[in-house]
Amino acid sequence: MNRITLNGIIIRDKELGEKDKVIKIFTAEKGIISAIVRRGQSVKSGNGSIAQLLAYCRFSLFEGKGGFIVNEIEIKELFWGVRENLESLALAQYFCELCFSWVPDEETSPELLRLFLNTLYYLSYKKKSRTLLKAVFELRGCVLCGYMPDLLCCNKCRKFDSKGMIFFVRSGNLNCKDCVSIQKNSYGKVLSSGVLSALRHVVYSDADKIFSFSISEESEKQLGSICEEYINEHIGVNFKSLDFYKSLIQFSKLDTI
């Protein structure tokens, strides 16, 4: 058996019989891989208990004909801030599901992995709101996986900016209101200038600057609903984890009344 070492984050874990566990690891080098963690195995790092969802680790793996078996795990980051908060954890589980739908088997996506880890970092250390992080991850993830909207200018008259630009989620195109009447097409979203510049930032900025923007609370809500709609339109999967996350938010709103 070959022995390889990889960095990656666990994005699914499932019990396998009474002793073992099968984990899915999102790695830069090999995309999403499956590996078996044997709990009875004598390994110095105590694999069974630390091989849990959202653990970012250095994995030493044996590669055999039937797949990977975990030999050793060295933890790099556990994102405790995410684990401590039920809403953040639910949101992170939704991000995991998105990774599965975006990354096909045997394909690598190191930029998406980087975005995922950065988003979890901001979520864990409470650097940005959950609404904003969700919107950035949804839209930038779509961009990285080939679903890129065209937000540069009106796609009819090429105007870069005018009041009340309209975004069409389905086509991913932008139009100015001189070219398109919103009444004629109910799918269009009239954008405030704050939301338009935030959308452009998320789509076009360098990876290391992606979270470096601020937005009003009102605009953040519109940004959030547009990005979620973009996912529904272009990915079209009914994510259970998203339903669960939303039900938690509803519940916490009720709780504060």
Helix H or strand E encompassing 88:
helix 86-102
**Helices and strands (H, E) in the chain, number of each type:** 8, 8
- Residue 176 contacts Zn ion per CB under 5 A: yes
3 or 156, CB closer to Zn ion? 156
Question: What's the min distance (Å) between Cβ of 153 and Zn ion?
Answer: 8
Residue 190 makes contact with Zn ion by CB under 5 A: no
Q: Nearer to Zn ion by C-beta: 89 or 154?
A: 154
* Unique residue bearing structure tokens 């930029």: 111
Which are the contacts of 39, defined by CB distance < 8 A and separation ≥ 6?
Answer: 19, 20, 21, 47, 48
Among positions 78, 179, 182, 235, the unique one binding Zn ion when judged by CB under 5 A = 179
What distance in Å separates the CA atoms of residue 4 and residue 246, rounded to the nearest whole number?
40
What is the DSSP code string of 119-167? HHHHHHTT-S-HHHHHHHHHHHHHHHTT---B-SS-TTT-----TT-EE
Within 79-118, which residues bind Zn ion (CB under 5 A)? none
- Which of the stretches 116-124, 168-176, 190-198, 247-255 binds Zn ion when contact is defined by CB under 5 A? 168-176
Q: Does the protein bind Zn ion through residue 69 (CB under 5 A)?
A: no
> Which of 178/243 has CB closer to Zn ion?
178
Q: Work out the angle between the directed axes of helices 217-234 and 193-204 (0-180°, nearest 10).
A: 50
| Strands 20-27 and 31-38, bridge-based pairing | antiparallel
Judged on CB neighbours under 10 Å (0-12, 13-18, 19+), 165 is: buried
Comparing CB distances to Zn ion, the nearer of 129 and 162 is 162
CA distances from 203 to 128, 135, 148, 183, 196 (A): 18, 11, 8, 27, 11
Asked if 195 touches Zn ion (CB under 5 A), the answer is: no
The stretch among 26-34, 44-52, 79-87, 171-179 that binds Zn ion (CB under 5 A) is: 171-179
CB 173 to Zn ion: min, Å = 11
156 binding Zn ion? (CB under 5 A): yes
CA 62 – CA 73 distance, rounded (Å): 12
Is 16 one of the binding residues for Zn ion (CB under 5 A)? no
183 vs 212, beta carbon nearer Zn ion: 183
Kindly state whether residue 174 participates in binding Zn ion, applying the rule CB under 5 A: no
- Residue 157 as a binder of Zn ion (CB under 5 A): the answer is yes
User: What is the layout of strands, in order, in the sheet containing 188-190?
Assistant: 173-175, 166-168, 188-190
Q: Write the binding mask 126 to 155 for Zn ion: x where contact by CB under 5 A, - elsewhere.
A: ----------------------------x-
Which residue's CB is nearer to Zn ion, number 159 or number 221? Answer: 159
Query: Which residues lie near Zn ion (CB under 5 A)?
Result: 154, 156-157, 159, 176, 179
